[in-house]
Structure 1
Amino acid sequence: MKIKSLFSLLPLVGAAFALPSTIDTTTFVSKVNANNSLTFKQPKLCDDTVVQYSGYLNVGTNEHYFFWFFESRQNPDTAPLTIWLNGGPGCSSMIGLWQELGPCRVNDDGSQAVYNTEGSWNQVSNMLFFDQPSNVGFSYGADNVHSSDEAAPLAYNFIQTFFEAFPKYQKLPFHFFGESYGGHYIPAFADYVLKQNQALSSSSKQVKVNLESIGIGNGLTDPLVQYQYYEKMACDSSYGSVLSDSDCQQMNASLPQCIQLGKKCYQTGSTSDCSDADDFCGSNIEGVYQNSGLSYYDVRTSDSIPSTYIKFLNSASTRSAIGATQSYSECSNSAGGKFGSTADSARNFAPRVADLLNNGVRVLLYAGDADYICNWYGNYAWSSQLNFTGSADYQSQSLKPWTLGGKEVGQVQAGSSLTFVRVYEAGHEVPWYQPAAALQMFTNHIANKPITS
């Protein structure tokens, strides 16, 4: 597709290493994996009321992932820890930090960081943002990642090294959230964490991750199902048609071949077959939307969300404060392009979601209903077809109104451990459009309460 005394509240780093208050940069080297290390600062940007860490986690051979952590404003010692990832593939999680659910915004002229008072999720959770793979955002390195599955072990290394460096957060409930291509990342990464947890022995030096839930916003998870709803979103959504009749007819006429190619991709798993599906469906169905002249991320407008934060992030003073050694770019074509070599985007990650559900991990799927590219119709459809232990319970339910402050802000369907939320009047980046609703949804979810409560 953003403390009263800082040093008095710092956790121990490693077994017996406390941060000295006379320096502002600290390096931690993992005792579990000598290749993993962490270099960080303690900035006070955006929210100077909480503990922050930012810098680089070296998670493999020449793989340097930039991260930024904010403690929760409420009960940070017991509040959950939530990781946030943006998608792409190849886009920075600083998008979530600065445009969506993070503590950071810039003022009108882009010269100063201010707190996101209306919708920052660190009001209720410790929040950890990181840029992956290498060469995305502030991250840098070899970038040998060509698929979501190749990215998963590095993300796991990231989590393990973070926990080793900051053991204070190891025992907290853990939630994995993401958006857009996060519909691939989050199921892949969380399921990898689950498998590693299951394989841990009593003598293992790895930390068990207390994985409680995942959340996916306007995600790409089950492409075969989701391709079948592009024409619906473009030609027959609640916002009306944005394409000509001939364009809509072309999309419909191309759908049988798209489905045939998508099924073959799912059956064989070959890169060639999945590339064929991705190319045909992308050109003849998804890509027809460009004729509308409207944003792929909001069918109501041709405008995009302003990225005024980029200039602020790239200033020398900001980079120094957060320990960023590279210039910042929002999305990397080179990093994202490598996923094309494995046709990763055409592959189905819904079975990973089912595996998580079958192992007690709660799942929240939410979608702004004005987004085209990962529209709510397609996301709702694949959730309705998902086969997992509690699927009968989920499928027996229906979408029900969700009100907030006396206003209907969306619809919710929940059954077993799966919840789907349609958010009214929101594009691809839901928290940008509906910050109060997004915060309430997140708050209820991490507390394991019904979204509608």
Structure 2
Amino acid sequence: MKLSFLTSFLLLLSFHHFVFPIFCNASQADNLFELLKSRKSQNPPNTELWVGLHSDDSNYSPVYIGPQDGLKEADKINALPGQPQGVDFDQYAGYITVDPNVGRELFYYFVESPQNSTTNPLVLWLNGGPGCSSLGFGAMEELGPFRVNSDGKTLFRNDYAWNSVANVIFLESPAGVGFSYSNTTLDYSKNGDKRTAEDSYTFLVNWLERFPQYKTRDFFITGESYAGHYVPQLAHTILSKNNNTNQTVINLKGIAIGNAWIDDITGIMGGYDYFWTHALNSDETNAGIHQYCNFVEGNYSSKCYDYLNQADAEAGNLDFYNIYAPLCKSSGPKSGPSGSVHDFDPCSNNYVSAYLNLAEVQASLHAKATKWEACRYEHFAWTESPTTILPTIIELISSGISVWIYSGDIDSVVPVTSSRYSINTLKLPVTTAWHPWYFDNEVGGYVVGYKGVTFATIRGAGHEVPSYQPERALTIISSFLTGKLPPS
């Protein structure tokens, strides 16, 4: 029997010696599971919440800023190997030093807009895990300008890339993820939520010195999965530093998080309710789970585990990222026709990994030669992780920035039910009633406006929303950037 992500997590709550199975294709869910497992280990991560945005920090000192002269020009990519003809935008890649004392370097890939790059906003994209690559997932499988063909050597154009409406940075964070690294190996054992936010802030301040034309540009942070932690925490850090520093004030306007892990309790409970509401288990199993499993207090009886195991047996062998998608049945690149942005290939991870490990690709990206991996497991501790990010979101709402939460509705790992339960705990008044939004004269999803938060679903999208519904994802992000609800 194959255990689902959620049931495996609950089993380890009582049996913390449970050995996590390393799946052949690394994913954000796998790393999220590892983090949740660590909550019951002998050395759990610190769950302390963030301090207030307006606290007095008399001991504040400016962050490190390194020399940036000539580095923008050095980072410019002439052409990516195998890219299609007619590329009409500038792209850059390279490293930003965030701690020169230990040699900690964060890798970025940046694509400007083909049109209106001088006026379009600046967007940062972060993938989750923790420990997974925004280059491999976000840029190469989701919202970036290219995707990788099945040969693992050539690229095809994504006609619905987000750089059509924004200039987009993909950041591999923290150090140890993708091409990002530290010259001090023990550095990796100190990764956690707080340092990830602080390093990402240091990255941004230095990046804006390298690209000074963006210093006053409207800035937005987006991401998915465990970026439900990364994005709000980075936003919180930016607003706090803006209050205290005479360095560059980052013009943060809003955040958008997709299928985001926000709160442990509602995340787990919502997952099992999603199973039943999407016909993945029986009425009897669902009733048993709700009778014997106390998600709120964390009380899981032997009867609870019996029903959870039964739920997994009934669900079967699925892609829990997209419950209606076919499974990948290939172990590597293959010859064949070019890919299509309208038909997401379940083996895309394999093609991306092959491509990013080509020596000529790493050279064109100005990356340090290495074995690139989509997600890191080994030597990757996580020292800080609040069990909920909801208090941080409340502070962001009070700051007045735009807060959007969106959800692909066929993901069962961080499903739409979990997102709705999380938002409902905030008890925000509804300002715009639930209603469908449209793309190409059909329902693209549903949206509801709360005081301080907009929640939108994307119909037919899995965990990685732009992979499965690129047109609808672009509609949502365009609406978010312009501060308007998607078209109804």
Equivalent residue for 2:298? 261
Deviations 1:130-185 (A, max 9, x none): 11111111111132443212211101000000001110111110000000001111
Task: Tell me, yes or no, if structure 1 residue 223 matches structure 2 residue 264.
Answer: yes
Corresponding letter in the other structure for 1:234: F
Q: Distance in 2 between matches of 1:368 and 1:445?
A: 16
Q: Distance in 1 between matches of 2:271 and 2:308?
A: 7
Corresponding letter in the other structure for 1:439: L
Q: Distance in 2 between matches of 1:353 and 1:380?
A: 14
Secondary structure of the corresponding residue to residue 218 of structure 1: strand
Corresponding letter in the other structure for 2:97: N
- Does the CA-based 8 Å contact 2:229-2:261 persist in structure 1? yes
Q: Distance in 2 between matches of 1:366 and 1:286?
A: 30
Equivalent residue for 1:53? 92
Q: TM-score, normalised on structure 1?
A: 0.79
Secondary structure of the corresponding residue to residue 178 of structure 1: strand
Q: Distance in 1 between matches of 2:123 and 2:444?
A: 24
Q: Distance in 2 between matches of 1:179 and 1:146?
A: 19
| Pairwise CA distance, 1:289 | 4.2
Q: Distance in 2 between matches of 1:436 and 1:157?
A: 33
Corresponding letter in the other structure for 1:228: M
Task: Tell me, yes or no, if structure 1 residue 150 matches structure 2 residue 150.
Answer: no
| Pairwise CA distance, 1:331 | 0.3
- Does the CA-based 8 Å contact 1:230-1:286 persist in structure 2? no
Which one has more relative contact order, counting CA pairs under 8 Å at least 6 apart? 2
Among 183, 194, 204, the alignment partner of 1:159 is: 204
Corresponding letter in the other structure for 1:161: N
Change (3 A) 1:165 1:35: closer
Equivalent residue for 2:281? 243
Corresponding letter in the other structure for 2:268: Y
| Pairwise CA distance, 1:303 | 1.6
Deviations 1:97-119 (A, max 9, x none): 010011121234232122211x2
Task: Tell me, yes or no, if structure 1 residue 338 matches structure 2 residue 377.
Answer: no
- Does the CA-based 8 Å contact 1:36-1:57 persist in structure 2? no
Among 328, 342, 347, the alignment partner of 2:372 is: 328
Give ranges in structure 2 of 5+ residues lacking alignment: 1-27, 29-61, 329-345
Which shows bigger deviation, 162-171 or 104-113?
Answer: 104-113
| Pairwise CA distance, 1:282 | 11
Secondary structure of the corresponding residue to residue 260 of structure 1: coil
Equivalent residue for 2:56? none
Q: How many residues end up aligned between the 2 structures?
A: 389
Deviations 1:253-292 (A, max 9, x none): 4531x31139xxxxxxxxxxxxx9xxxx999969964763
Equivalent residue for 1:42? 76
Identity %: 29
Q: Distance in 1 between matches of 2:178 and 2:424?
A: 35
Q: TM-score, normalised on structure 2?
A: 0.74
Change (3 A) 1:250 1:35: farther
| Pairwise CA distance, 1:452 | 2.3
Give ranges in structure 1 of 5+ residues lacking alignment: 2-30, 263-275
Q: Distance in 2 between matches of 1:130 and 1:347?
A: 24
RMSD between aligned residues = 2.7
Change (3 A) 1:157 1:289: farther
Change (3 A) 1:150 1:249: farther
What does 1:50-129 align with in structure 2 at a 5 Å threshold? 50-60=89-99, 61-94=102-135, 95-117=137-159, 119-129=160-170
Change (3 A) 1:50 1:107: same
